[in-house]
Copies of this chain bind each other. A is one copy, B any other.
Amino acid sequence: MTYYCFLNGKIIPANEAAVAITDLGLLRGYGIFDYLRTYHGRPFRLQDYLDRLRSSASDMRLPVKYSDAQITAIVDELLQKNEVTEDAAIRLLMTGGNSPDSMSIAEPNFAVIIEHLAPTPQEQYENGVKLLTYPFKRIFPLSKTTNYVAAIKMQPEVKAKKAFDLLYVLNDEVLELTRNNFFLVKGNALITAKEGVLEGVTRKVILELAEGHFKLDVRRVNAAELNTADEAFLSGSAKKLIPVVQIDEKIYGSGKPGATTRKLMQLFDEYVSVVSSQERVASNR
């Protein structure tokens, strides 16, 4: 099967898509992106991702010359042309462009890429995962830049310690994972960082769904709270919610996913079912 992608106005086979080596995304790591997935073949909460793409672009001074309607149409066309039968990931990539002097922003290169969505092992949902704390904070955390140097460099250590990923904790402040948001549960309260993190769409949906069930505690999270929390979990677009049962040496709930985490996983799955059946009805009209 040949995958297709959109690059600068054209739909082309993905394996032919290339950018010049003068691209500021390549020479200077200057680029933004966003990343969402389909459920039952339909993009999930696309408008939230388009809003965030536009916000990241604005923060990084990259002009977006496509309207939301145009990007939506591109996504739809790619999903059809690629004949996606199982759920897929959608990457929206925007770089600093082909710079004349390797420092000035030029006309951005813009790509929409349909990608294989690596399935999350069922075992991670059922048994939870382990995280390693790491002292780092992304420099412009509200923007989804392409800078993942720490995440990639540290992969061997993560694997060697049989961990799922790093949890960024800087100056006693608990932030986020390399590609996911992070929540603690303490009693009836759901605790997550307010600032200094990417505002994930899955995080947003969880806070919407938790309203009425749990106390929402969106604020600065202190490192000491990692030791006193009852439960922990991560959230992300590809992986939904995954229970966290260990952080460094601390083990939560005797090493098993907690009741609040499981309740939220269930609420999220129910929400996805409802939204994606509505989406399917709308797209079949």
Residues on A facing B (Cβ under 8 Å): 5, 7, 14-15, 17-21, 23-31, 33, 59-61, 91, 93, 95-96, 101-105, 111, 113, 115, 118, 136, 139-140, 145-153, 155-156
- The docked-state distance in angstroms from the alpha carbon of A5 to that of B21 is 10
Q: Is the CB of A148 within 8 A of B29?
A: yes
From B33, B61, B102, B148, A30 is in contact (CB under 8 Å) with: B148
Q: Which of B61, B105, B136, B147 is close to A29, meaning CB atoms less than 8 Å apart?
A: B147
A104 contacts which chain B residues (CB < 8 A)?
155
Q: Kindly name the residue among A21, A101, A155 whose own CB sees the greatest number of chain B CB atoms within 10 A.
A: A21
A226 → B minimal CB distance (Å): 22
Complex Cα distance, B27 from A146, in Å, reads: 6
- A21 lies within 8 A of B33 (CB): no
Say whether, besides A139-B149, A145-B149, A147-B147, A20 and B15 are in contact (CB < 8 Å).
yes
Partner of A145, one of B29, B136, B156: B29
- In Å, the complex CA distance between A17 and B152 comes to 26
Main secondary structure of the interface of A (DSSP, over half): mixed
In whole angstroms, how far apart are the Cα atoms of A186 and B230 in the complex? 55
A21 close to B93 (CB less than 8 A)? yes
Complex Cα gap A3–B176 (Å): 44
Contact A153 B61 (CB under 8 A): yes
Contacts of A60 in B (CB 8 A): 149, 153
* Min C-beta distance of A169 to chain B, whole Å: 15
In the bound complex, residues from chain B placing their C-beta under 8 Å from that of A105 are: 152
Minimum CB–CB distance for A99 against chain B, Å: 9
7 A-B residue pairings within 8 Å (CB atoms): A21-B93, A21-B111, A27-B33, A28-B149, A59-B153, A139-B149, A145-B149
A62-B103 Cα distance, complex, nearest whole Å: 24
* Interchain nearest-CB distance for A148 vs B (Å): 4
Closest 8 CB pairs of A and B: A29-B29, A18-B18, A28-B148, A29-B147, A29-B146, A17-B21, A25-B26, A30-B152
Q: A20-B17, A21-B111, A21-B113 are in contact. Are A151 and B103 (CB under 8 A)?
A: yes
Least Cβ–Cβ distance between A14 and chain B, in angstroms: 8
Residue among A17, A103, A149 facing the most chain B CB atoms (10 A cut-off):
A149
Among A7, A147, A156, find the residue whose CB has the most chain B CB atoms closer than 10 A.
A147
A101 interface neighbour in B59, B118, B136, Cβ under 8 Å: B118
Partner of A28, one of B7, B23, B95, B152: B152
B136 close to A139 (CB less than 8 A): yes
Query: Across the interface, do A149 and B140 meet the contact criterion of CB distance under 8 Å?
Result: yes
Q: A18-B19, A19-B18, A149-B140 given as contacts; is B26 within 8 A of A26 (CB)?
A: yes
